Structure 1
Amino acid sequence: MDFEHLATARHSAVNFEKDFKMTEADFEKIFNLTKTAPSAYNLQFTNYLVVMDDDKKERVRALNYEQYKIHSASAAVIVMGNRQGIEMENAEKIYGPMKMLKMMDEHTYDMTMDLIRGYSEGLKTNNTLVREEIIRNSGLHAMLFMLAAKHYGFDTCPMHIHNVADLKKEFNIPDHLEPIMLITIGKSVDKIRPRGYRKPVGEFVQFNSF
Structure 2
Amino acid sequence: MNFKELVQARHSAVNFVKKEKLTAEEINNIFELTKLAPSAYNLQFTDYLVITDEEKKERIRELSYNQYKIHTASAVIIVMGNKNSIEMSEVEKIYQPMKMLKMMDDIEYDMTINQIKDFSENLKADPHKLETELVRNTGLQAMLLMLSAKENGFDTCPMHIHNVEQLREEFHIPNHLLPIMMITIGKSVDKTRPRGYRKPVGEFVHVNGFGE
Q: TM-score, normalised by structure 1?
A: 0.99
Q: Which residue of 2 aligns with 1:126?
A: 126
Q: Tell me the SS of whatever aligns to 1:158.
A: strand
Q: Which residue of 2 aligns with 1:171?
A: 171
Q: Tell me the SS of whatever aligns to 2:143.
A: helix
Alignment pair present for 1:67 and 2:44: no
- Once the two structures are superposed, residues 190-210 of structure 1 have per-residue CA deviations (whole angstroms, 9 ceiling, x without a partner) of 141221110000000001111
Q: Which residue of 1 aligns with 2:39?
A: 39
Structure 1: how far apart are the matches of 2:98 and 2:130?
Answer: 26
Q: Which amino acid aligns with 1:117?
A: K
Structure 1: how far apart are the matches of 2:75 and 2:195?
Answer: 24
Alpha-carbon shift at residue 104 of structure 1 (Å)? 1.1
Q: Which residue of 2 aligns with 1:144?
A: 144
Instruction: Tell me whether 187-196 or 42-51 shows the greater mean CA deviation.
Output: 187-196
Q: Which residue of 2 aligns with 1:58?
A: 58
- Once the two structures are superposed, residues 5-38 of structure 1 have per-residue CA deviations (whole angstroms, 9 ceiling, x without a partner) of 0000000000000011110110100000000000
Q: Which amino acid aligns with 2:159?
A: M
Q: Percent identity?
A: 65
Q: Tell me the SS of whatever aligns to 1:175.
A: coil
Q: Tell me the SS of whatever aligns to 1:157.
A: strand
The alignment's C-alpha RMSD in Å is 0.6
Q: Which residue of 2 aligns with 1:19?
A: 19
Structure 1: how far apart are the matches of 2:57 and 2:72?
Answer: 10
How many pairs align?
210
- Once the two structures are superposed, residues 60-114 of structure 1 have per-residue CA deviations (whole angstroms, 9 ceiling, x without a partner) of 1111111110010000000000001111111101001111111111111000000
- Once the two structures are superposed, residues 138-176 of structure 1 have per-residue CA deviations (whole angstroms, 9 ceiling, x without a partner) of 000000000000001100000000000110110000000
Q: TM-score, normalised by structure 2?
A: 0.98
Alignment pair present for 1:108 and 2:97: no
Q: Which amino acid aligns with 1:180?
A: I
